[in-house]
Amino acid sequence: MFKENKEEGNIYIKLIILLASISLCLILFIPKLSETKKEEKEVKKDSPIVVSAKKYINDNKEYFDEFFKEKDMVYRIDLSLLTDKKYYENKNNKKGYINIIDNKNFNYISLEDDNYLVNNIVKEEKSYNNENSPFDLKYIYVGKDVNNYLKYNDKLYRIIGVTNSNYLKLVDVNINENIKSYGLGNNINWFNKQDGDNFSKELDFNSYKGIFYVGFVRSNIIDKTEIIKNEKRNNEYTIVNPKYYGKYASANISDLIDASDNCSFNSLLEINKENCDSYLFDILNNSYLLTTSEDQKVYAINDNKVINTFELNNIKVHNVIYLDGLSLYEGTGEESNPYILKQ
């Protein structure tokens, strides 16, 4: 009996020694695990895909310096672009994009399908604007009956166009009832700042910060290219900089002109539904535009004609926002089957 207890005691001692050994191994091994994960992250940051994206940005420095001038700016680079321009050797035919935040955080998003909405829209570039800044439009929807409907966040929008940075420029088909005032000064020409900040909080992560042009355009300027250049230019009525970085604004007068396939006028104040008709004119009737005018006024559409004014109670604002067009989608763009971004 005593002998059996002694053997049991030896077994317990052996178990204690074994458990102590296992505990010691874990203590020594766990830091190694964390170090391994850290090394993997560091390798990922310097992966060939990320390195090629950084080189592409560095080779187009002026363009990306403007884009990343302020915080919270997000840019997507299609992997096929880096492949076509010989920045990346895509031996395995990978698909996806590099998501870049503030030109600091690079993340490769791998996809099985790269049928992005922007590729479906931009079959060929259609714009008179030869400017090449990130938020200049390289493609525009023109005409009266166009399939450019997009549903986002339970709201229906129309796609005004596609920017050089592959963002979709959208206009809400409904009035924003939250904006009660439209002022100049520190309110960036087109909305009460507090109302704007409150509205921005309602937008989720898919609504991207972009550049909106708030420059001053005299009503006697009728050349389309000059109108856009003036919207982007510093002048006596523009506060500090005509480029506003934010989540939403309203449409420019150049957008209105752009959307018509036959807009003819001798003054911006002669533009009306008859000489500049389009789907966008119908949406923007009785609403403010983003572009400022002489005498510290702002352009608006009232009773189917362009005016310049201070503030009218019957005129509201249609929100214009940006979404990334380098996104997978469903739908056809028709009102009954609008585009919906899947990712």
> Strands, DSSP E only, in 144-286?
149-152, 155-163, 167-172, 210-213, 243-246, 248-249
Minimum mean pLDDT range among 4-13, 128-137, 320-329: 4-13
pLDDT value at 12 more than 70: no
Beta bridge partners of 328: none
Q: Average pLDDT, whole number, for the chain?
A: 80
Residue with tokens 């001053």: 216
Instruction: Please give the residue that has the higher pLDDT: either 57 or 12.
Output: 57
pLDDT at 141: 94
pLDDT value at 287 more than 80: yes
pLDDT at 35: 37
Instruction: Please give the residue that has the higher pLDDT: either 121 or 214.
Output: 121
pLDDT at 20: 59
pTM of the model: 0.81
Supply angle C-alpha 259, 291, 238, rounded to 5. 150
Q: What is the mean pLDDT of residues 53-60?
A: 97
pLDDT at 103: 93
**How many C-beta atoms lie closer than 10 Å to residue 256's C-beta?**
24
Backbone φ and ψ for 326, nearest 5 degrees, come out as: -80, 60
Residue with tokens 């009232």: 302
> Strands, DSSP E only, in 9-110?
74-78, 96-101, 105-110
pLDDT at 189: 46
With bands split at pLDDT 50, 70 and 90, how would you rate the model's confidence at 93? very high
**pLDDT digits over 162-195, tens only?**
999 999 999 999 987 766 544 444 344 444 445 5
Tokens representing 220 are 């006697």
DSSP per-residue codes, 175-192: --TT------GGGTTTS-
Q: What is the mean pLDDT of residues 66-70?
A: 93
pLDDT at 57: 97
Residue with tokens 């204690």: 16
**Sign of the dihedral defined by the CA atoms of residues 224, 227, 229, 232, in that order:** negative
Residue 265 DSSP symbol:
-
pLDDT at 124: 60
Q: Which amino acid is at 272?
A: N
Q: Which amino acid is at 38?
A: K
**pLDDT digits over 13-25, tens only?**
655 555 556 555 5
